[in-house]
A and B are shown apart, each in its own frame.
Chain A
Amino acid sequence: MTSSGRSRLYAALLAATLLSPGAVVSASVAGAAEDKTLDVRFYDDPAGFDPANIFRIENENIAFNVFSGLTTYDGKTGAIVPDLAESWENKDNTTWTFHLRKGVQWQKGYGEFTAADVLYSYKRILDPATASPYIAELTGIETMEAPDPYTVVIKLKQPNGGFLHTVANYHQGQIVKKEAIEAAGDQVRWQPVGTGPYYLESIDVNSRIVLKRHKGYYKGPAPIETLDFHIIKDDATAAIALRNGEIDLLMRQNKEEQLQILKDAGFKMNHVDNYAATLKVMNLSDPILKDVRVRQAIAYAIDYPAITAAIAPSLQAPAYSIMMPWMEVFAKDAPRYEYDPEKAKQLLTEAGYPDGFTLKALNTSAQGVTEQQQFEIDYLSQVGIKMELELVDTPTYNQRRNKGEFMTATRLLPAINPDMILFSYLHPDNRSPKGLNGAQYDNPELTATIEAARAEADPEKRMELYAKAQTIAMTDLPYVPSTANNVYWPSKTNVTGVNINYLAQVNFWEVDE
């Protein structure tokens, strides 16, 4: 066989791998012949990988590859696809029956995965002793049952159309093994055992995380034997390490200028666009901001397309809604606020602030005043609004933001479960300090709409309700969308399959070199 013929076959097999999880055996075997190692940049100190207590994307990405959920997200489309559950059905969005995959093996010899593991995992989250911050995600469950080892039936207190997100391979949705948890004691976060494509072989919290291929992974072993994550915090150093060939794949490059250098040097610029929106949270209990015209004026006053084009054409794009355009629920007809300083001035005059006012923006000092903020200050000053930044360090910032002690602050929306976003950010039950509704937003019409949407069984009607909710939200504007963020994982050209999903995560089972 000619070499071109062989590579064509290989490509075909690879395509098959990506398309249908079932038919991968031969490709994986081909990969397993060599003991390949992929050196990956990891950008911060690891904080542990216990699904019940996991924080920050980089740690979540490790967990994403170690654990599995009943469902998971497709790396390219963001759609929910089967994972440990082969299939499922639901009644009235209330009773969810999952049919589990058979023969799935736990890592490190913990045997076969069964329905009991699912029940244990969810109960663990719900156990107050676990002190999981994600407990609220599962409190909607009324009963959980395992009629047989391969079936799980979950009954919800109220209908929830987005429940498949809850059981996805993310946070509370990740399935753990009782025996492994008990064996780890208080070191659970450092001894994760899952059913995912990679297991944690060793970790040096100061410098290195090593993942090894889980040979018994139900889709077949991953092509790469070893994932060697090196902690490199500085973005410029990380770029140099990639250019030096010390690493193969750079997890997140957040400096536009480095992206330019890497692009010019011919590296592969793996990326996902619009993975999340940055919002300006308008605290409606503020006497000035409670006037909707003021909030709209702010939205009209800033030219985000110009800003993103100027400072980070790769990393940012303007955002026009709290929903991302790729989402199913995205409403195209919701109001948009294009740059219009005259209109902003007019609205301010109508609201009684012809000379503007002072907008105090709480922010973290971690990056100092960003270029974006500097532009915002510029733009706002042109309509008479004086934006003053209150910069505090990250813990303080988080604390004040959660307590609602600010005039305006920002939030980065993780944009995967639209229903969850709408509830967390717009439902009055979730007003801070209790929840994430930092705007203190309470519009009964919107509340009724999202509650109805969640319960609605008919998908078309649900979409309509969601669209209505978006229209209300974008008219009231408790959150002013500013930018949508893109995520870049530059790599050497021979690294393939780096598909970053909308949680900014990469499924390494798909990666090869």
Chain B
Amino acid sequence: MLVYSLKRFAQLFTTVLGVVTLVFFTMRMIPGDPISAIAGDNLSGEALDRMRSQMGLDAPLFVQYLNYLGHLATFDFGNTVTTKLPIIGLILGALPVTVSIAVGTIVLTVLISIPLGTLAAFTAHKGHRMLDNAITGVAMVLDLMPSFWTSLVCLLIFSLTLGWFPASGTVSIDDPAHLLRRIALPVLVLSMAQVATLARITRTSVLEVLSEDYVRTARSMGWSELRVLFRHALKNAALPIVTVIGLSFGNLLNGTVIVEFIFTLPGIGNLLVGGMNSRDYQMVQTLIVFYALIFVAINFATDLIYRVFDPRVQF
């Protein structure tokens, strides 16, 4: 376990450092800087140059990089470049929103797709393709609809016509009931895209397990088919399912941008796009570090869950 933790730490360190370096230099290679981002239609070049030098954006790149690393090492994430807001506060404010969406999506996805996938696998195993095809087909159709389109359709149906969920309104974790109502639609939209993948993986791995020798062994001892399905198949099929859930959780954290935009949710996808559009180096860099941390953390969590499901996995 100790060795494992050390390894993980080393992985975290290299990944984060790589990510930080990549993002630092990429951001500065991209044309446009924070000043040009705020230049609208009526600021002259002269005025902008004045601001640029005022903000010290003309220091040598390598010096800026080392400075940045130094700040990072002391967990000083700094302020946004133009609006001077503490970044850590912005991220911590936005994180709960995105995390609730991601968690909600995962929960809904799991609740829908694991039973569906299992059912599909079970019927397929017995040679009945009808239900299997229907489930796979519907999941695929859901998967393939662009989220910005389904978002609006959902808004029109559930918010405007049925009036079940608000389209706007402040989101705060202090008011969980309201939060739930606000994230319901985005969660629904995002789940649509996730269900197919997870149901497919569930189906494939359960199907694979169902043809394993030990399932036959269990059947030979008089276990009923359903019991075999729940006691053996699902547990054994869990590893790929957990992997996919872990991966999709990571993807969700940066895939919520569109729904955050349409459903006006102040999440970190929002921050990222905003930071990128305003060329707020500091903001983007810090967010990326967060993403990398989350990525590594999810890998770690996935490994831990592996261990719960599969005693063979050792650290």
Q: In the complex, are there CB atoms of A and B closer than 8 Å?
A: yes
Contact of B156 among A238, A240, A395, A397 (CB under 8 A): A240
CB distance from B77 to the nearest CB of A (A): 16
Q: Are B37 and A412 in contact (CB under 8 A)?
A: no
Measured between beta carbons, the chain B residues less than 8 angstroms from A327 are none
For residue B48, CB closer than 8 A to chain A, the reply is yes
Check A399/B32 contact, CB under 8 A, given A205-B90, A240-B155: yes
Q: Are A402 and B48 in contact (CB under 8 A)?
A: yes
**Cα distance, A58 to B4, chains bound together (Å):** 52
- In B24-43, which residues have CB < 8 Å from any A CB? 30-34, 36-43
For residue A411, CB closer than 8 A to chain B, the reply is yes
Identify which of B130-138, B159-167, B206-214, B288-296 touches chain A.
B159-167
Q: Are A189 and B83 in contact (CB under 8 A)?
A: yes
**Cα distance, A434 to B84, chains bound together (Å):** 27
Q: Are A435 and B85 in contact (CB under 8 A)?
A: no
**Hey, what's the 0/1 contact readout for A191-218 against B, CB within 8 Å counting as 1?**
0000000000000111110000000000
Contact of A206 among B44, B93, B159, B167 (CB under 8 A): B93
Measured between beta carbons, the chain A residues less than 8 angstroms from B48 are 133, 402
Contact of A411 among B32, B41, B170, B278 (CB under 8 A): B41
For residue B70, CB closer than 8 A to chain A, the reply is no
Q: Are B166 and A246 in contact (CB under 8 A)?
A: yes
**Cα distance, A133 to B39, chains bound together (Å):** 10
CB distance from A421 to the nearest CB of B (A): 9
Q: Are A131 and B51 in contact (CB under 8 A)?
A: yes
Q: Are B160 and A230 in contact (CB under 8 A)?
A: no
CB distance from A492 to the nearest CB of B (A): 15
For residue B18, CB closer than 8 A to chain A, the reply is no
Check A424/B44 contact, CB under 8 A, given A131-B50, A205-B90, A236-B152: yes
**Cα distance, A208 to B159, chains bound together (Å):** 21
For residue B47, CB closer than 8 A to chain A, the reply is yes
Check A232/B46 contact, CB under 8 A, given A206-B94, A398-B32: no
Q: Are B166 and A208 in contact (CB under 8 A)?
A: no
Q: Are B31 and A246 in contact (CB under 8 A)?
A: no
CB distance from A408 to the nearest CB of B (A): 15
For residue A393, CB closer than 8 A to chain B, the reply is yes
Q: Are A435 and B44 in contact (CB under 8 A)?
A: yes
Identify which of B106-114, B192-200, B260-268, B299-307 touches chain A.
B260-268
Q: Are B168 and A238 in contact (CB under 8 A)?
A: yes
CB distance from B104 to the nearest CB of A (A): 18
**Hey, what's the 0/1 contact readout for A173-194 against B, CB within 8 Å counting as 1?**
0000000000000110110000
Measured between beta carbons, the chain A residues less than 8 angstroms from B93 are 204, 206
For residue A396, CB closer than 8 A to chain B, the reply is yes
For residue B311, CB closer than 8 A to chain A, the reply is no
**Cα distance, A399 to B36, chains bound together (Å):** 5
Q: Are B44 and A240 in contact (CB under 8 A)?
A: no
For residue A244, CB closer than 8 A to chain B, the reply is yes
- In A81-131, which residues have CB < 8 Å from any B CB? 128-129, 131
For residue B279, CB closer than 8 A to chain A, the reply is yes
Q: Are B37 and A398 in contact (CB under 8 A)?
A: yes
- In A30-59, which residues have CB < 8 Å from any B CB? 41, 45, 47-48, 53, 55-56
Measured between beta carbons, the chain B residues less than 8 angstroms from A399 are 31-33, 36, 39
CB distance from B272 to the nearest CB of A (A): 12
Is the contact region of chain A dominated by helix, strand, or loop, or is it mixed? mixed
Check A430/B47 contact, CB under 8 A, given A187-B84, A232-B264, A396-B31: no
Q: Are B261 and A244 in contact (CB under 8 A)?
A: no
CB distance from A239 to the nearest CB of B (A): 9
Measured between beta carbons, the chain B residues less than 8 angstroms from A237 are 155, 167-168, 262-264
Most A Cβ at <10 Å: residue of B38, B152, B171: B38
Query: Residue on B with the closest CB to A412?
Result: B41
Check A395/B36 contact, CB under 8 A, given A231-B264, A246-B166: yes
CB distance from A187 to the nearest CB of B (A): 7
- In A390-427, which residues have CB < 8 Å from any B CB? 392-400, 402-403, 411-414, 424
Query: Residue on B with the closest CB to A45?
Result: B274
**Cα distance, A49 to B39, chains bound together (Å):** 16
Query: Residue on B with the closest CB to A48?
Result: B83
Q: Are A398 and B39 in contact (CB under 8 A)?
A: yes
Measured between beta carbons, the chain A residues less than 8 angstroms from B50 are 128, 131, 133, 135
For residue B169, CB closer than 8 A to chain A, the reply is yes
For residue A24, CB closer than 8 A to chain B, the reply is no
Measured between beta carbons, the chain B residues less than 8 angstroms from A238 are 168
Measured between beta carbons, the chain B residues less than 8 angstroms from A189 are 83-84
For residue A134, CB closer than 8 A to chain B, the reply is yes
**Cα distance, A276 to B263, chains bound together (Å):** 30
Q: Are A234 and B54 in contact (CB under 8 A)?
A: no
Check A402/B264 contact, CB under 8 A, given A206-B90, A208-B170: no
CB distance from A37 to the nearest CB of B (A): 13
For residue A436, CB closer than 8 A to chain B, the reply is yes
Contact of A241 among B30, B43, B44, B168 (CB under 8 A): B168
Contact of A246 among B30, B34, B94, B167 (CB under 8 A): B167
**Cα distance, A434 to B170, chains bound together (Å):** 42
Check A47/B42 contact, CB under 8 A, given A133-B50, A230-B264, A237-B155: no
Query: Residue on B with the closest CB to A403?
Result: B45
For residue B277, CB closer than 8 A to chain A, the reply is yes
For residue B82, CB closer than 8 A to chain A, the reply is yes
Measured between beta carbons, the chain A residues less than 8 angstroms from B169 are 230, 246
Most A Cβ at <10 Å: residue of B33, B38, B42, B85: B42
Q: Are A402 and B36 in contact (CB under 8 A)?
A: yes
- In B109-147, which residues have CB < 8 Å from any A CB? none
For residue B191, CB closer than 8 A to chain A, the reply is no
**Cα distance, A129 to B54, chains bound together (Å):** 8
For residue A243, CB closer than 8 A to chain B, the reply is yes
> Can you name 30 A-B residue pairings with CB atoms under 8 Å?
A41-B168, A47-B83, A129-B54, A131-B51, A134-B47, A190-B83, A204-B170, A231-B264, A232-B264, A233-B264, A234-B262, A237-B155, A237-B263, A244-B166, A247-B168, A395-B32, A395-B36, A395-B277, A395-B279, A396-B32, A398-B32, A398-B39, A399-B33, A402-B44, A402-B45, A402-B48, A414-B42, A433-B45, A435-B44, A436-B42
> 12 more A-B contacts (CB under 8 A) besides A45-B270, A133-B44, A434-B45?
A206-B94, A206-B271, A236-B155, A394-B37, A394-B277, A395-B32, A395-B277, A398-B39, A399-B33, A402-B39, A432-B44, A434-B44
